[in-house]
C-alpha cells in the first residue's frame, strides 16, 4: 500500500500564474514591467538566431508585450501608397516605427533619462547601442504606473491587441508622431470608436493561434560601441 505525503501541501502551488494578454480596443491602466533583449532561434532556419527588444506592461486585466526585431537592410525604406483619389503618399518605414516607439516609451517613463539618451545618440553605432541605452534608462522606471492604448489587428484570422498607428510621414517627407499609445492622456478617435464598436459587437473569435509568430530574416548582431558611457545615462 502506497503512502500519501500529506506534507506536500506545504509546497503545493495553490493558484495558476498564467496571465492572459490584454484584449483589443481598450485603454488600460498598467505598470511598466521592463524592457529586455532576447535572442531566439529561427523557425525556418533553426541555425539562425535573431535579436529582439521586448517591452512589457502589466495590468489588472492582463499584459501586453511589444516585440521589436533588430532592424535589417531595407527596413529604412518607406512604402508608397495610393489614396482613393489616386494621390500617392509615403508611409512610415519599419525603422521609423521602431525609433518612434522607443522615443515615446522612453520619454513617458523617464523624461530626463530620454534627454540624456538623445544627447548620447550621436555616438550610437548600432541598434544594439540604442537598445542598451533604452534598457538602461527605463530600468529605473519599472513599476511606474501609466496607461496603454491598444487597438485591434488581424493575425492568423483572429483579432489581437496591438498598438495604434503612431507615426506617419508628412508632405515634406518628414516623419511625425501622429498618436500616443502610452501616457496619461489617451483617447480613441471617432474612426477608432467605430472600429471598437464593430469588434465589441462581433461574434467571439477563436484565439487559439492568436499569439503565434514567424521570425523574419534579420541581420546578425552589430558590434557594440565601447566608447559610449551608458552609465552616464542614469
Strand stretches in 144-206, DSSP E: 145-155, 158-162, 167-169, 175-177
- The whole-number pLDDT of residue 44 equals 84
Inter-residue long-range contacts of 102-107, CB under 8 Å, 24+ positions, other chains counted: 102/130, 102/134, 103/177, 104/166, 104/177, 104/180, 104/181, 104/182, 104/183, 105/35, 105/55, 105/134, 105/138, 105/182, 106/134, 106/137, 106/138
Distance in angstroms (rounded) separating the CA atoms of residues 203 and 95: 36
- The whole-number pLDDT of residue 8 equals 84
Under DSSP, the state recorded for 208 is T
Q: Which stretches of the chain are DSSP H helices?
A: 94-109, 111-120, 127-139, 190-201
- The whole-number pLDDT of residue 17 equals 67
pLDDT tens per residue across all 234 residues of the chain: 568 887 888 888 776 667 799 999 999 999 999 999 999 988 888 888 899 999 999 999 999 999 999 999 999 999 999 988 889 999 999 999 999 999 999 999 999 999 999 999 999 999 999 999 999 999 999 999 999 999 999 988 889 999 999 999 999 999 999 999 999 999 999 999 999 999 999 866 455 444 444 334 333 334 445 556 656 665
- The whole-number pLDDT of residue 203 equals 66
- The whole-number pLDDT of residue 13 equals 79
- The whole-number pLDDT of residue 232 equals 67
- Side by side, the strands of the sheet bearing 26-41 are 62-69, 49-59, 26-41, 145-155, 158-162
- The whole-number pLDDT of residue 214 equals 39
Q: How long a stretch of residues is the chain?
A: 234
Amino acid at each position: 500500500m502506497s503512502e500519501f505525503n500529506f506534507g506536500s501541501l506545504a509546497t503545493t502551488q495553490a493558484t495558476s500564474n498564467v496571465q492572459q494578454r490584454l484584449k483589443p480596443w481598450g485603454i488600460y491602466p498598467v505598470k511598466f514591467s521592463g524592457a529586455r533583449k532576447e535572442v531566439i532561434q529561427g523557425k525556418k532556419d533553426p541555425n539562425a538566431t535573431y535579436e529582439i527588444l521586448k517591452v512589457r506592461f502589466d495590468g489588472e486585466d492582463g499584459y501586453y508585450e511589444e516585440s521589436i526585431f533588430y532592424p535589417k537592410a531595407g527596413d529604412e525604406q518607406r512604402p508608397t501608397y495610393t489614396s482613393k483619389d489616386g494621390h500617392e503618399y509615403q508611409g512610415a518605414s519599419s525603422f521609423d516605427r521602431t525609433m518612434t516607439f522607443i522615443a515615446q516609451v522612453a520619454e513617458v517613463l523617464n523624461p530626463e533619462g530620454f534627454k540624456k539618451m538623445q544627447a548620447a545618440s550621436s555616438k550610437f553605432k548600432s541598434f544594439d547601442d540604442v537598445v542598451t541605452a533604452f534598457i538602461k534608462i527605463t530600468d529605473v522606471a519599472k513599476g511606474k504606473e501609466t496607461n496603454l492604448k491598444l487597438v485591434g489587428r488581424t493575425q492568423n484570422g483572429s483579432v489581437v491587441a496591438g498598438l495604434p498607428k503612431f507615426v506617419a510621414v508628412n508632405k515634406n517627407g518628414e516623419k511625425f508622431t501622429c498618436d500616443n499609445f502610452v501616457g496619461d492622456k489617451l483617447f480613441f478617435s471617432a474612426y477608432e470608436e467605430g472600429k471598437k464598436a464593430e469588434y465589441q459587437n462581433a461574434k467571439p473569435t477563436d484565439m487559439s493561434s492568436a499569439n503565434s509568430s514567424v521570425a523574419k530574416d534579420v541581420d546578425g548582431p552589430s558590434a557594440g560601441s565601447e566608447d559610449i558611457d551608458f552609465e552616464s545615462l542614469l
